[in-house]
Amino acid sequence: MAAAVTPLPRALVRTRNEARRSIVDRFFRGLCVVAAVVGIIPPFAIIGYVVLNGASAMNLDLLTKPPRALGTGGGAVAAILGSLQLVGLATIIAVPVGVGAAVYVAEFGGRRSATIVRFAADVLVGIPSILMGIFVFTFLVLPFRHFNAFAGSVALSFLMVPVVMRTTEEIIRLVPDSLREASLALGVPRWRTVLSIVLRTGLGGILTGIMLAVARAAGETAPLLFTALGSRLVNVGSFDKPMDALPIFVFINARQPISALNEQAWGAALLLLLFVLTINILVRVRSVSRQAR
């Protein structure tokens, strides 16, 4: 007769299973750590490289003087003022449209119409920015036969609208229904409830979405090459003429075979990076403060 197989003690089996699970857990934790490090290295490397190359070009001339030809000095004041104007006008255009579309989708639209608008916004987010520039170029540059800053702001606003809309919609959905019901129970009209209760309650989150949209628009180059074009002249308030911007300034000067212009491009890139980083830090601080409350 064959000898009976003696089963292993339960304690030994449990110990082996725990050891195996511990090894697998450590392995996958290690993979997660490696993935986190790989994800962190590129942005920090980019930031460090831009800071190292742009810090030497940061001076008072870069911030206060207009550019000069042939790399004989000058600065990026035309690009700085142009970016502020282009992004500012784009924000004025995009915020009412984006917030209004979000209110319609979240408060007034039917299920089918809201789905269509939401899908259109998602598609708009994924469209390459250069196509936005070509589209606006066709309708706001070609008919007038000259580049203009207004077309550049419109192109940037098209990029901002879906970001503002989607973030605002999510914030509106977080507003408790009890606040709406209380307002409607007091006889307040629906539109007044949305303006005074819903939007006011979610104002902090809406501003966060607007800041993210501004940060995205500030760094776009391709749409402006087809619309605002860029200019070495300081243009303040003349949106019917070409206007410079920091992304265009960086793009043009980085391609020149003149070291002085290349240094100015690094300085302008650092300015643009600081602007975007500042907005993202403010968004993060606002989010953390909201969670703390």
Give residue-wise pLDDT tens across range 230-255.
988 899 999 999 999 999 999 999 99
- Residue in the block written with tokens 């259109």: 120
Query: Was domain 60-292 assigned CATH 1.10.3720.10?
Result: yes
What does the pLDDT look like over 169-213, one tens digit per residue? 999 999 999 999 999 999 999 999 999 999 999 988 898 899 989
Local confidence band at 71 (pLDDT 50, 70, 90 cut-offs): low
| CA–CA gap between residue 22 and residue 11 (Å, rounded) | 16
Question: What is the value of pTM for the model shown?
Answer: 0.87
pLDDT of amino acid 204: 85
Q: Where are the domains of the chain?
A: 60-292
Average pLDDT for the chain: 89
